[in-house]
Chain A
Amino acid sequence: MNTLGKISLFKTTVEEVKEISKDVFVLSFLRTEEFIPGQMLALALKPDNQPRLYSIASGKEDEQYQILFNIQHQGYLTPRLSKVKVGDELFISKPFGSFYGSMEADWWIAAGTGMAPFLSMLKSGMAEKKTLIHGGRDKASFYFSDVFKNILKEKYIPCSSFEKTDDYFQGRITSFLKKTKELSRERNYFVCGSSEFVVDVRDILIQRGIPYQQIIAEIYF
């Protein structure tokens, strides 16, 4: 992919690599700049490589940047990224983007690693009154579920599309959104994930009467 043809990258150092689920990693590296929760970084293995964008998953007071990624086996970057070691160099942009959260009773809606910006917001003290709807295939897909559950309580709603368990809503996020009676026209809906996910969710919210102006989307471009 060549979406990012020209973007300034700076050297940083890997401080931790952790596989939190099969093929899903949290990468921690030296933080150099202030950021606003919801912002992202462009990241590459070498300064002349094509960078990719990743939402920052760490909190604004944390000493490190953290990002989440899952290995795209046909891709170039993520298989290599999964093999970096502590002390390795990476190249990152300054934080950018404006998928900013708020202190209101917003709904956060994410699929898979799309919860990264919401994790950043949660770690930055923005979780009060929030509802997180998180879609995944099975229990192993609900990354940081303990953290979210501990703070959001019953407003953490994992939707399991494959694995059946009493703890979760059985079915896809789209099914949940079609059924739930909790949607309110007064709230903002922050949606993060692939374009297909975002378009599907946005269509359902609009069908259910949510004004499009209250839907803020972040797409994994």
Chain B
Amino acid sequence: MEKENLFGKTLIELQEIVVKAGFPKFVAKQLTDWMYKKRIRSIEEMRNLSKPTREKLAENYTLNFPAFTNVQESVDGTKKYLFPVKPHQFIEAAYIPEGERATLCVSSQVGCKMGCLFCMTGKQGFQGNLSSAEILNQIFSLPEFDNLTNVVYMGMGEPLDNLDEVLKSIEILTSDYGLAWSPKRITVSTIGIIPAMKRFLEQSKANLAVSLHSPFEEERKKLMPIESVYHLPKLLDTIRSFEFGGQRRVSFEYIMFKGENDQQRHINELARILNGIKCRINLIRFHPIPGTPLESSSNETILRFQNGLKRKGIVTTIRASRGEDIFAACGLLSTKELVKRQKNEDY
């Protein structure tokens, strides 16, 4: 029988495990200290547990940290790591150093089921959710772990489609028993699954980033099928009605598509629909994927768009393109490596 992985479990989950195994409850706290604070890699290294305790734990449990199998490094220092999940399944994590800041972009699912027109990950289809251990392993197994200042859930998959595991991983990153990071260092991105977003806002203090890409419902629907299910006005009303406090940030991601969403009418509508939301818009150059009908707006257009939004009083930044020479946009590396499942699709 395969041993269960203790890494990635919350303190409460570990307490249940140790009590069930006949150990005192405080052993769970010892486990979190070893795994999350001292970052050891095996039960054997847990020196303040007695040998019989370690041996009994090791009968049924293990610590599992799959090592990355590939890394590509950009001339700008960005590194893209490929982690195996299951046979023929891979996820990507992108390490992006920038001055004193170092951000890791982590994946939350293998593939994605949201089918956004501009996304490479969607071409893999959906292959599964990551466990909190698999999410956290991208962080804990990163050679640059000690440099990390921020984590963004913007890699492969829709984080709020795997909310339980994402919340568990954030708890471990931010709890006193875990890494004790400030939730301000964590940003979770979503395409706007409203019910799950409500839960995320209530049960976490991490920042929220919403993939917007068009202020017009009909245009957004063609780029992002989720718009047929959860409509933009309701999404924005939900955000508007939530008390974010002084520290927590909400931002809107906006990929710039030439001739599609980069005109003055888009600026005007963005200003109208975002009225009353304290937020930032992050403009992103589009990195074309194979077969896409979309092109990136020019640098000049992006700057003009930024200035137009600023004139409307909206804080607007342009995301620096990083790792272009290694195709750091999510999904490209793992799709190349993906061995397509030999599943006989019915259609």
A195 with B346: CB separation less than 8 A: no
Number of B interface residues, CB 8 Å? Answer: 38
- Asked whether A193 is an interface residue with its Cβ less than 8 Å from the other chain, the reply is yes
B115 with A96: CB separation less than 8 A: no
Q: Across the interface, which residues of A come within 8 angstroms of B129, CB to CB?
A: 1
B291 with A217: CB separation less than 8 A: no
B160 with A3: CB separation less than 8 A: yes
Docked pose: A96 CA to B231 CA in angstroms: 9
**Minimal beta-carbon separation of A38 from chain B (angstroms):** 8
- Asked whether A53 is an interface residue with its Cβ less than 8 Å from the other chain, the reply is yes
- B-contact 0/1 string along A155-190, CB 8 Å cutoff: 000010110000000001110000000000000000
Contact of B345 among A96, A97, A197 (CB under 8 A): A197
Docked pose: A6 CA to B199 CA in angstroms: 7
Stretch at the interface among A78-86, A121-129, A146-154, A202-210: A202-210
A97 with B229: CB separation less than 8 A: yes
B225 with A219: CB separation less than 8 A: yes
- Asked whether A75 is an interface residue with its Cβ less than 8 Å from the other chain, the reply is no
- A-contact 0/1 string along B226-237, CB 8 Å cutoff: 111101000000
By a beta-carbon cutoff of 8 Å, the part of chain A in contact with chain B is 1-7, 40, 53, 96-99, 111-112, 135-137, 141, 159, 161-162, 172-174, 193-200, 202-203, 206-207, 211-213, 215-221
- Asked whether B293 is an interface residue with its Cβ less than 8 Å from the other chain, the reply is yes
Which residues of B, 294-326, contact A by the 8 Å Cβ criterion? 294
Offer 15 A-B interface pairs, CB within 8 angstroms, sorted by A: A2-B162, A3-B163, A5-B199, A53-B229, A98-B228, A112-B346, A161-B346, A195-B115, A202-B115, A202-B117, A206-B293, A212-B222, A212-B293, A212-B294, A216-B222
Q: Determine which residue in B129, B164, B347 has the highest number of CB atoms from chain A within 10 A of its CB, and name it.
A: B347
Contact of A215 among B196, B198, B222 (CB under 8 A): B222
**New A-B contacts (9) at CB < 8 Å, excluding given A7-B195, A159-B347:** A3-B163, A3-B195, A98-B221, A136-B347, A161-B345, A162-B344, A207-B291, A212-B117, A217-B225
Which residues of B, 167-210, contact A by the 8 Å Cβ criterion? 193, 195-196, 198-200
A199 with B347: CB separation less than 8 A: no
Q: Across the interface, which residues of A come within 8 angstroms of B266, CB to CB?
A: none
> Which of chain A's residues has its CB closest to B125's CB?
A196
- Asked whether B36 is an interface residue with its Cβ less than 8 Å from the other chain, the reply is no
Contact of A172 among B199, B293, B347 (CB under 8 A): B347
B225 with A198: CB separation less than 8 A: yes
B196 with A199: CB separation less than 8 A: no
Docked pose: A199 CA to B289 CA in angstroms: 13
> Which of chain A's residues has its CB closest to B166's CB?
A2
Docked pose: A220 CA to B229 CA in angstroms: 10
Docked pose: A200 CA to B340 CA in angstroms: 14
Docked pose: A218 CA to B106 CA in angstroms: 27
Contact of A197 among B114, B162, B227, B347 (CB under 8 A): B347
A5 with B291: CB separation less than 8 A: no
**Minimal beta-carbon separation of B329 from chain A (angstroms):** 17
Q: Across the interface, which residues of A come within 8 angstroms of B45, CB to CB?
A: none
Docked pose: A161 CA to B163 CA in angstroms: 35
> Which of chain A's residues has its CB closest to B199's CB?
A5
Q: Across the interface, which residues of A come within 8 angstroms of B294, CB to CB?
A: 212
B226 with A199: CB separation less than 8 A: no
A199 with B346: CB separation less than 8 A: no
A219 with B114: CB separation less than 8 A: yes
Docked pose: A91 CA to B186 CA in angstroms: 35
A193 with B163: CB separation less than 8 A: no
- Asked whether B217 is an interface residue with its Cβ less than 8 Å from the other chain, the reply is yes
> Which of chain A's residues has its CB closest to B122's CB?
A199
B217 with A98: CB separation less than 8 A: yes
A40 with B117: CB separation less than 8 A: no
A99 with B347: CB separation less than 8 A: no
Docked pose: A212 CA to B257 CA in angstroms: 13
Contact of B198 among A6, A206, A218 (CB under 8 A): A6
